[in-house]
Structures are given as structure tokens and as C-alpha cells.
Amino acid sequence: MFITQVYADAPTVSHGGGFDIMSLLPLALIFVVFYFLILRPQQKKMKQHQQMLSGLRRGDKVVTSGGIIGTISKLTSDREVQVEIAEEVRVRIMRSTITEVLSKTDPVANNDSDTAKPKKIKKVENE
């Protein structure tokens, strides 16, 4: 009486019933935007951080991830650094916890250069 019959439409076939390449275009576009806005800047930041950590020297003033400011007193290994945080107070920290270098020290002069070597002076004897 009050019940109507519902008929399903026949499935339509699009140009051979195969794969449509245009359906992947939005997904590819999202991936490209994701790469340039998120992945690439993050990789660049990680590379700069690694370069900063490899360039650490004695006397550099650094900030740790915990917010402690100190001066590098000793590079104990490639993973560990000894930092002086107060007068005669030294702590060992992991190199990876250093987030920023506040001031860098000048490198030590190379002993092989001509400017660093004292020049020999020949004495001339008068007759």
C-alpha cells in the first residue's frame, strides 16, 4: 500500500572501466605541497644543526635544550661535551642537546703558516 519499490541504476562504465590517472592528480599535488612546506625545511634545519654541532670548539658559549647557558671547556668525544655553567662547575652533556651557539671563539693560528713562524735573522759580522 504505502511501500514504494526502489530500483537500483545499472553501473556505468567509464572509457573501458579501467584506471583514471586524473583521480591521482590531487593526491600528487598534496604530496608536493607537503614536501616543500614541511619536509624540505625540516631537513635543511637538521643539516644546519649538524654543521653547528660539528663546528663546536673550546671556549664557545652555548645554550642547551634545557636553557642552561655555559662555555665549552672540553670536547670529550663526538657525542659528549664538558660545559662550564658557573665558576669551577662543569657538567657533561650530550652534544645533541646544544641548541644554539651564542658566541664562537677564534680558531688557533696554524703553526705551518709563514706568519706564525719566527723568521731567522742572519748576523753579519763586520771585518
Query: How many other CB atoms are found less than 10 A from the CB of residue 93?
Result: 20
Task: Decide: helix, strand or coil at residue 28.
Answer: helix
d(CA 80, CA 93): 6
Per-residue pLDDT tens digits for 50-72: 999 999 999 999 999 999 999 99
What pTM did the predictor assign? 0.60
Per-residue pLDDT tens digits for 86-105: 999 999 999 999 999 998 88
Give the position of cell 663546528.
55
Domain boundaries, the chain: 25-103
Containing H/E element for 48?
Answer: helix 40-54
Pick the CATH number of 25-103 from 1.10.1740, 2.30.30, 3.40.50, 3.30.2320: 2.30.30
